[in-house]
Amino acid sequence: MQLKTRKILFFISLIIFLTASPAVIMYSLGYKIDPESLKIQKTGGIFVNIDYQDYKISINNSIEKKVSKPLFVQKGTLIPNLIPKNYNIKISKKGYKSWEKTLKVKSQIVTEIKNIFLAPKDLSPSKLDNEIIDFLISNSKENISYIKNNKLIFLNIKNKNKTELILPNTTKSSGKIKILEKSFDKDIIYLQNKKNILKADLKTQKITTIKKPSLEKYLKIRPNPKNSNSLFILSDKNILYKLDAENKQRSILAKNISNFYVTGESVIYTTKNPVNFYKQKIESEKINQITFLPIKNFSENSKILVRFDDPVALLNDNKELLLFDYSSEKFKKFAENVTDAKISGDFSKMIYRNDHEIYVYYFEASYPRKKAGDKDLLGRYSKKIQDASWFDFDDQHIFLTINDKVNVLELDGRNKRNFEEIMPRPEKFTYNNYDKSIYFLKDKKLQKVKLILEK
C-alpha cells in the first residue's frame, strides 16, 4: 500500500474516531438524543423485580425483554438508557392476565416496579368436600379443619391426610355449631354453639365439652396464644374470664369490662364506666393503663385495632374511626361513617372503608414513595362495598368485594390501580399463603382456587 493511501486511510479513521468518540462517551455516561426534541438528555431506567419467572416485559410495544431466570437466582431486571418521558409498561406471562401501567422515567432515576400480582386466566375451583357447615385454616397455615354433618375433619394441606372426630350428641340439640376465630393451632381447635364450648385435640383424638353457664351469656371468646388449653371470655355481666379447658375451671381476669382484644403477648381490654384502655401481659399479668380520658360510644360491638402489641385505632358505635395519639395518650377522631377497618399482616398500614369508598392509611414509609401518615383513596364505587380484606401475598393488594364479585386491587396508585376479578362472592373465604390458594365455602361446598401458581 502506498504511503499516500495509508495517510488517507489514517485521516479517515481519525475523523471517524473524533466524530464517534463524543457520542460513545456521552452514551456511556448515560446521555442520549431525544428523537422528538432533538435535545441531549441524561437517561433513566426501569427496574422490574417480581416473584415470577418466564415472563416478558414490553415497553411502548417496542422494547421487549424476556426473563427466565430461576427464582432463587433472580435479582430483578434493569432496562437502562431510557429518555425521560412516560412509558407504557406491560408484563405478560403465559397462562396469566397481563399487568399494565404507564410510568414516568426521570433523568438519572431508576423507576422501580415490584409487588406485582398476575391473575391466572383459569381460576376454576376444585371441590374438597360437600355438606360443610364451617371451616378454619390453622395458625401454621398447614392444616384446614371443617365441620361436616356430625364430624370434625382435620385435613393436612400438604399430604392430604384426613383425621375425623365424631362430635358429641349434645351438640345436635344445642343449636348451630361454629369454629372459634383464630382458635386452630397445629393440634387443637375450639368450637362453640349456644350451650357448649368444645375443645378438639388432634393428638389424643378426643373432644372435650365445656358447658356454658345458664344465667350468663358469652359475648366474645378468644384463644390464648401462650397456652392452647385456655381461652379468654367476655360475658354479658361485663366480666373478663380466663378459662382452663383442661380442668373446665374459669378465673376472673378483670371486672367492669366492655371489650377486649388478644395479641401475641397481651390482653388489651376496656373498662365499661368510664371507658379506658388497659393492657395486661399474659405471662407476667402486669397491667398498664393506656388511656386516661374516657372514650365515648364504645361497647362490645366496637372494634379494637392493634399494631404489634398496642391498640392504635378503634371503630366506635357511631362509625367513627379514631387513631391513638401517643403524645396526648388519647384516641382522636380520624374519619367518619366508617363501616370497617383492618390492619395489614405486616402492621405497616390500615385499610378503612364506608359504603362506597375505600382508603389506606400508612403507619410507616412504604412502597411506592409513601410516608408515615399518608392516606390514599383506593377507589370510589357506585355499587356498595360488601367486604374488604388484606391479600397476604405481599400486603400490597387487597381483596375487594363489590356487586357479589371478589376482586384483587393493588395499592400502587401510579397511573392506575390494576383491578382483577377473581370469583363470585362466597359465604366465607380465606387466602392461605402456605399453598397460595383461596379456600371458600359456597352452597355448603368447601372449594379451593389456586391463586398463585408460582412465587
Do 26 and 47 reside in the same domain of the chain? no
Q: Residue 380 has which C-alpha cell?
A: 370510589
Quick check: is 79 in a domain?
A: yes
Residue with cell 381483596: 399
Do 12 and 47 reside in the same domain of the chain? no
Do 52 and 78 reside in the same domain of the chain? yes
Residues of the chain predicted below pLDDT 70? 1-40, 69-75, 170-174, 454-455
Do 20 and 74 reside in the same domain of the chain? no
pTM for the whole structure: 0.88
Which positions ≥6 away from 185 have C-beta within 8 Å?
A: 138, 139, 140, 223, 228
Number of domains in the chain: 2
DSSP letter for each residue of 129-180: ESSEEEEEE-TTSSEEEEEETTEEEEEETTT--EEEEEPPGGGTTS---EEP
Do 5 and 65 reside in the same domain of the chain? no
Boundary of a domain, candidates 76, 95, 114: 114
Distance of CA 405 to the CA centre of its chain: 18
- Of 283, 279, 244, nearest to 261 by C-alpha is 279
Do 110 and 48 reside in the same domain of the chain? yes
pLDDT for 1: 54
Do 17 and 65 reside in the same domain of the chain? no
Return the sign of the alpha-carbon dihedral for residues 338, 308, 222, 285.
negative
Do 49 and 107 reside in the same domain of the chain? yes
CATH of residue 64's domain is: 2.60.40.10
Quick check: is 173 in a domain?
A: no
Quick check: is 129 in a domain?
A: no
**What do you get for the CA distance between the two ends of the chain, in Å?**
64
Do 57 and 100 reside in the same domain of the chain? yes
pLDDT for 42: 84
Quick check: is 96 in a domain?
A: yes
Domain that holds residue 22: 1-32
Which amino acid belongs to residue 178?
A: K
pLDDT for 19: 52
Quick check: is 238 in a domain?
A: no
Do 51 and 105 reside in the same domain of the chain? yes
Quick check: is 344 in a domain?
A: no
Do 51 and 28 reside in the same domain of the chain? no
Distance of CA 20 to the CA centre of its chain: 54
For the chain, how many helices (H) and strands (E)? 1, 41
Quick check: is 19 in a domain?
A: yes
Give yes or no for a contact between 5 and 83, defined as CB atoms under 8 angstroms apart.
no
Boundary of a domain, candidates 65, 96, 114: 114
Give yes or no for a contact between 210 and 250, defined as CB atoms under 8 angstroms apart.
no
Do 78 and 47 reside in the same domain of the chain? yes
Quick check: is 134 in a domain?
A: no
Query: Over the stretch 15-69, which tens digit does the pLDDT of each residue have?
Result: 554 454 444 444 444 445 555 554 567 888 999 988 888 899 999 988 788 888 6
